[in-house]
Amino acid sequence: MRIAKQLLTEAVIGIMIGATVYLTTLMLHLDTINPTPRSIAGLFIMSAVIGILSSIFDLDWLSLPVAYGTHFISTFLIVLATNYLMGWQFLIGSALTSFIISFIVIYAFIWIALYLSWRVTARKMTRILKKRLKK
């Protein structure tokens, strides 16, 4: 039951990140998918799967560089598969280069945002622990 709860949590976090990225691309008027129910469902499923894939970082026996590399490549393959299955046409002709650059930029942006979030959380926890130790 604990594993199912963790996977569900990871999936929801993935959906939240995917929705944020999608809404950001819409706000910036970047070329993106048309917001049809089918494409939004595909985006949510893709984001949930990528979120679940992030549990790879919980594996103690896997080194961090290998986990990052595996996550990057697996995420890229998931996005490619979703692109193909949904018929989004990002892989045709000159769009391929733009797609790869966009993928790398978005992937880096998400990791920077997560790093900053973790850093803020760690600082808050450190501050709380220091207060408790002084009492």
pLDDT digits (tens, 9 = 90+) for 91-109: 676 777 777 888 898 899 8
pLDDT of residue 123: 92
- Comparing 9-23, 60-74, 85-99, which segment has the lowest mean pLDDT? 85-99
Quote the tokens at residue 59.
């594996």
Per the structure, the count of domains in the chain is 1
- Measure Cα distances from 2 to 6, 58, 85, 86, 122 in Å: 6, 14, 32, 33, 24
* pLDDT of res. 49: 92
pTM of the model as a whole: 0.79
Q: Which has the minimum average pLDDT: 9-13, 21-25, 67-71?
A: 21-25
Q: Determine whether 47 is exposed, middle or buried from the number of CB atoms within 10 Å of its CB (0-12, 13-18, 19+).
A: buried
Owning domain of residue 26: 2-134
Torsion of Cα atoms, 7 then 9 then 12 then 17, to 10° = -100
